[in-house]
Amino acid sequence: MITLLFALLAAPAAAAPSLNADVETQVQDLLSRMTMDEKLGQLQQLDGLADGTARPEQAELARKGLLGSVLNVRGAANVNALQREAVEHSRLKIPILFGFDVIHGYRTVFPIPLALASSWDPALVKDAARTAAVEAEAAGVRWTFSPMVDIARDPRWGRVAEGAGEDPYLGSVMARAWVRGYQGGDPSQPGRVAACAKHWVGYGAAEGGRDYNTTEISERTLREIYFPPFKAAVDAGVLTFMSAFNDLDGEPASANAFTLTQVLRGEWKFPGFVVSDYKAVDELISHGVAADGADAARLALTSGVDMEMVSRDYASNLPALIQAGKVPASAVDEAVRRVLRVKFLLGLFDRPYADQSRESIALFSAENRAAARRAAARSLVLLKNDGNVLPFSKALKSVAVIGPLADDRAATLGSWTGDGRAADARTVLDGVRAALPRAAVVVSTGGAIGALSDLDISSAAAAARAADAVVLVLGEMADMTGEASGRSTLDLPGRQLELARAALSAGKPTAVVLLGGRPLALGALLNAAPAVLEAWQPGTQGGDAVADALFGDANPGGKLTMTFPRSVGQIPIYYNHKNGGRPASDKYYSSKYIDGPWTPQFPFGWGLSYTTFTVSGLAVDPVSISAGGRSDVRVYVANDGARAGDEVVQLYLRRRTADVTRPVAELKGFRRVSLKPGEDARVDFTLGPKELGFLDRDMKFAVEPGDYDITVGTSSVGGLSARLTVAP
């Protein structure tokens, strides 16, 4: 066995922010002139008002140099007014850092992050982040609390909408794309903002899918599943981290020295700063590890949380704690140093104000809306298409658009929509009308999901009978996903299934469009509906993108990044599970259920197309390598159908016998390929130590000698197989 250092497997060091000597000199000079109150001011972030303006007290705090950051204050004029107090009237003229939840767009709202990840297109994600950064920076926001890179294996958790799904490899690729899109090569340049990797760490494993709940995660699982996307963000140069709400193995994540200091600063050498989540420092009292605000401040700061969001335990208690010798003054200095470092790297000292002349030009431009429409189209996942029901013909004379979400603008945008406006959203109904300007579009939306009546259901059936084709728009309302929106069931909410059955009883060509922020249990609907298109929460231009797919102007090519269960009783369910001593089989005493299948409804990586693809010619060269060697894998993919389309070729690896148990499959590479009818392409991958290695029994990264199974296909199930041997 050959053990390799983590550092040898990281992305090139040049990608990470290095300590600039000039910046460090300026930081030290400023730090040497600060009073303790001014230092603590830099560690304080306060909340503005919902309309984007500052609270009255914040101007005075800024003048006194006691306010390092605010969140939710936005709009160039609002930002400049508060910034002026700090830059022109405070003693040291340290600028304020303005943050905001720019999660999937600022004013132009892109699909939710789970949808963007379903594109399997990191360049698309990078461009979406870049567009969001341009708009946010024009509005005075220089820091976004994104990307959320939590791995999530439980779709009951509402915040799965904000992440990339269940896989650490895909999550790492998307984390890098988000960070590079937001920050670029130089975050001080116009149109760039500081990114924030959140929530550090393990938040996606909240028990029961209940937000803010406790988590129990072994160190091996932390390092192999939950850490990698955060490490990828560090390697990409992310400037900030956010500590999580959850309790992690008995130590709250916002007072966890192992993750915040040992791993983040010690092992990974992260030079940026950590901000707590909203009041997470004060919530250490509720967790039961802090007796009061002073205790909470001591625990959080000494564990590695640099900036306190909204609660004020640092400013209120640290002077006395330092005087009493319970907190070293050096801990405050180091936290302030990290905050100032980021402000210098962002260029805030040179360019503290927003350019008010750019705001109206940058926001919600035609170019940005077109980018959002392309992103929504590439994020669509075709789950089912029996009999090639889709795409519909544009020659249809009448179409019924049915369902409570058909014209729901908020549900189209989703959760955490920045400064997006529901009035701007293009719904599925809007999209159908625009795509078929000469057709009769019959509408039967009914009431809200929770208020569908017998009359609504009978009206839907009548509308379906009167139309040539039916579009059923079903799923979850906007407030059913996102933060604090855990669900105990994954069924379609309300009476939507009854509505669907009534419409389907008309026997017309019917397609279901699903809006929502999580995988749902769709068994009964799938049995009845011939075609199902997962549109997620597709953003400002989502309705037009859906119509593009429904009527053949776009061919869905997205793939699932979370496993779809058959029922909530299968949760947690994810593709990269362990085999176990009695893997599921037909035997009675095996790992299965007695009342239903153990397999998922749709596996990770699943997604259909309006055309067909063939993967062939898998070859591995060489078939035997040393532990430090590399092998090239090639395969061919061909479009055998009559339409142009995209296929995502996916490579999975399995080590059947190892020092420790390994997953039945691990994603190690993918490529999204666009092909015309009859066209083929060669897809190449390289497997080396980073892909083949794992943590051994001693928690050291190693490449073990032996056989590795390679599978290449179009989802995590099936595909072509080959073997690679690592020589002793």
Active site residues per annotation: 277
How far apart (Å, rounded) are the C-alpha atoms in residues 234 and 247?
A: 23
223: tokens are 């390092």
Burial of 285 per CB tally in 10 Å (0-12, 13-18, 19+): middle
Tokens of 712: 């290449």
For the chain, the 3-state helix, strand and coil shares in percent, each to the nearest 5, are 35, 20, 45
Alpha helices per DSSP H over 44-75:
56-63
Q: Name the strands in the sheet holding 666-675, side by side, starting at the edge strand that comes first in the sequence.
A: 624-625, 720-726, 706-713, 645-654, 666-675
**How far apart, in whole angstroms, are the C-alpha atoms of residue 64 and residue 68?**
11
Tokens standing for residue 480: 């059913």
CA 646/CA 641 separation, integer angstroms:
12
Lookup result for tokens 């066209």: 679
Q: How far apart are CA 470 and CA 472, in angstroms?
A: 6
Q: 625 and 689 in contact (C-beta within 8 Å)? A: no
**Residue whose token pair is 């429409």:** 373
- Taking the C-alpha atoms of residue 190 and residue 624, their distance in angstroms, rounded to an integer, is 49
Cα 285 from Cα 292, distance rounded (Å): 6
Per DSSP, the three-state class of 227 is: coil
Q: Minimal CA–CA distance to 377: which of 564, 115, 127, 79?
A: 115
Nearest-angstrom CA–CA distance, 117 and 122: 8
- For residues 518-529, one letter each, b for 16 or more C-beta atoms within 10 angstroms of the residue's C-beta and e for the rest, the string is bbbbbeebbeeb
Residue 205 CB partners (closer than 8 Å, separation 6+) = 151, 153, 154, 215, 216, 217, 226, 246
Give the integer Cα–Cα distance in Å for 591 and 388. Answer: 36
Contact 78, 53 (CB under 8 A): yes
Tokens matching residue 204: 């996606």
Does 493 sit behind a cis peptide bond, omega within 30 degrees of 0 on the bond before it? Answer: no
- Least Cα distance to 542 among 366, 365, 379 occurs for 379
Q: Are 97 and 142 in contact (CB under 8 A)?
A: yes
Other Cβ atoms within 10 Å of 6 Cβ, number = 13
Rg (CA), the chain: 26
| Contact yes or no for 274/264 (Cβ under 8 A) | yes
Q: Please classify residue 98 by burial: count the beta carbons closer than 10 Å to its beta carbon, then call 0-12 exposed, 13-18 middle and 19+ buried.
A: buried
Which residues of 612-700 form beta strands (DSSP E)? 613-621, 624-625, 631-639, 645-654, 666-675, 680-687, 694-695
Backbone angles phi, psi at 197, to 5 degrees: -75, 125
